[in-house]
Amino acid sequence: MTKTYNDIEVVTHLLAERDRDLELAARIGQSLLQRNHLLQERNESVEEQLAQALDQVHQLQHELGKKDELLRMVASASEESETDSSCSTPLHPRQPLAPAVALSQLEALQGKMSDLEEENLALRSEARHLKTETITFEEKEQQLVSDCVKELRESNSQMVNLTEELSHKNEEVMRHQEEISQLLSQIVELQHRVKELALEKEELRIHLQASKDAQRSLTAELNELADRNVECVGMLHESQEEIKELRSKNTPSAGMRRHLPYGLFPMDSLAAEIEGTMRRELSVEDEVAFQDQNEFRAYRGVYLGKHVFVLRVCLCSREEVPLGKPGAPGGNDLVSALHRLSLRRQNFLCERQFFQAERDKKLEALAGGPESDVEGSGYSSPMSSVMSSFTNLSEFSVSSSCFKTFLPEKLQIVKPMEGSLTLHHWQQLAMPHLGTILDPHPGVVTKGFRPLPHDALADTVYRLTDLEEDEEGGDEEQKYDMRGTFIHYVHFTIDTYIHTYIHTYIVRQKSI
């Protein structure tokens, strides 16, 4: 039945059939009313005929009564005449014609009497016939009245049934109209939902394309940084070879090398430029590390336990935050992006501080001597390995200004590097990218920028004595090789952008 009501054509066909049934019922009712009217007219005519017949019967009865009285009068007169004739004496013999006249009168009276009797019999037979006809007419009238009443009752019952059926059909029609209106509203809502889903699909497609473009750009940047790393490693090897050559050729300053075990370089050489650049970067890193030291102490105790939770919060927030319009990111997108970038920056700073602490430990172990080097930590981070190699270069700068005059003139002529690191750094700063979106720019206001909402996790203070909460997700491991060139973070719930960011950070650390 529900399928029948849901099908519009079937409902229309049923409504048409019900309309035809209603028209047929109306026609039947009209025919019954006409028949009832005809029967009423016939009943009135029969009643008029009955009244006329009754009047005739009364008239005949009145005439019959008159004739009976006349007969009685004639009979009484004849009897009186007979008695008078019998009582009379024969005193008048002279009147012989009186009996003959009386006999003739008697015969006339008897003839009239017989005629009256015959007429009386005829009238009686006619009265009986009229009476029987009246009875039959009355019976017919009663039967007709009963039939009319019966038909009227049947017609009334049919009219009641038709009225009830009509009311039910009207209710069904109203219900069908309500269902049709509801279905139309549902169709409109579904069409609106389809349009919204189409817009959302287009927006998601645009975001997916943007994420793919960002991933490709990050991959290209990663490849570029890897090439720079290889180039810097090659430059480092070349500088070390040049140092060895200079040590082997610098025979007059052997006594001085006992006091300073490292060679000297001209100010315009490749080693001097690398040395100055590394010294500036190390000073900047020391300043940033000193500013973030308190935050690192609070964060380091719960870093491994809360890392998965933070990543899950990022993923959940990415799924729950509504997206902006295509081509024009909304405020929510910017806030969520800034929040994720701030988390990544905190992760980056904590890892850098951790590697800085490991580098300090390594430097202390190296300063303690070979015994402490053997008893030190059995692994080395890429920051410690690279920074330990650059510590020698920083020590070169101490003696380069003092002992430059003791080198031979031909050893001071070193081929300068084509394209300095400062120029390359300026070129990188001139290229637009999202790497410095969180860095403060005095006098520059970002369009649509607004501060991040208050985060409950930011007010939480963690201590080293707190117990770590175990998560049931994937395990995070840090594997270091002896050369300190690669770091692999294996985590089963980590985001693709976090992966790309961590590898980019590692390549940047290796390329320094």
Q: Which residues contact 394 (CB under 8 A, 6 or more apart)?
A: 275, 278, 279, 282
* pLDDT band of 85, cuts 50, 70, 90: low
Q: Which residue, of 163, 197, 231, is where some domain finishes?
A: 197
Mind listing the pLDDT tens digit for each residue in 357-374? Answer: 878 887 887 776 544 443
Please state, in angstroms and rounded to a whole number, the distance separating the CA atoms of residues 173 and 215: 61
What is the DSSP code (8-state) at residue 488?
A: E
Within-domain flag for 222: no
Verify that 258 and 192 share a domain, yes or no. no
Verify that 345 and 262 share a domain, yes or no. yes
Average pLDDT of the residues in 280-306: 49
* pLDDT band of 406, cuts 50, 70, 90: very low
Verify that 150 and 268 share a domain, yes or no. no
Q: For the range 330-338, what are the long-range contacts, defined as Cβ-Cβ under 8 Å and sequence gap of 24 or more? A: 331/448, 331/450, 334/448, 334/449, 334/450, 335/450, 335/452, 335/453, 338/437, 338/438, 338/452
pLDDT at position 84 is 67
Which residue type, as a one-letter code, is found at position 53?
A
Tally of domains in the chain: 2
Verify that 255 and 347 share a domain, yes or no. yes
Verify that 162 and 295 share a domain, yes or no. no
Q: Are 298 and 266 in contact (CB under 8 A)?
A: no
Within-domain flag for 334: yes
**Count of residues in the chain:** 512
Q: What backbone phi and psi angles, to 5 degrees, belong to 253?
A: -100, 40
CB-based burial label for 388 (10 Å; 0-12, 13-18, 19+): middle
* pLDDT band of 437, cuts 50, 70, 90: low
What are the C-alpha distances in Å from 376 to residues 308, 352, 355, 481, 497? 31, 21, 16, 16, 35
Q: Are 123 and 60 in contact (CB under 8 A)?
A: yes
Q: Which residue, of 135, 162, 197, is where some domain finishes?
A: 197
Verify that 167 and 294 share a domain, yes or no. no
* pLDDT band of 198, cuts 50, 70, 90: very high
The percent of residues in the chain predicted with pLDDT above 70, rounded, is: 50
Most confident of 115-124, 338-347, 377-386: 115-124
Within-domain flag for 230: no
Verify that 183 and 257 share a domain, yes or no. no
CATH number, domain of 11, equals 1.10.287
Verify that 275 and 180 share a domain, yes or no. no
Q: Which residue, of 162, 197, 232, is where some domain finishes?
A: 197
Within-domain flag for 232: no
Verify that 273 and 151 share a domain, yes or no. no
Verify that 62 and 169 share a domain, yes or no. yes
Q: Which residue has the higher pLDDT, 208 or 476?
A: 208
pLDDT at position 143 is 86
* Residue where the block lists tokens 């609106």: 192
**Concatenated DSSP letters for 255-298?**
HHHHH--S----TTSHHHHHHHHHHHHHHHHHHHHHHTHHHHHH
Please state, in angstroms and rounded to a whole number, the distance separating the CA atoms of residues 278 and 264: 16
Within-domain flag for 408: yes
- For residue 18, the tally of other CB atoms under 10 A from its CB is 17
Verify that 184 and 299 share a domain, yes or no. no
Collapsing DSSP states into helix, strand and coil, what is residue 487?
strand
- Indicate the Cα dihedral angle 35, 40, 46, 49, nearest 10°: -130
Q: Are 36 and 148 in contact (CB under 8 A)?
A: yes
- Whether the predicted pLDDT of 88 surpasses 60: no
Verify that 306 and 193 share a domain, yes or no. no
**Both tokens of residue 84?**
């008078």
For 475, the domain range is 250-511
Within-domain flag for 207: no
- SS3 breakdown of the chain: % helix, strand, coil, rounded to 5? 75, 0, 25
Within-domain flag for 41: yes
Within-domain flag for 220: no
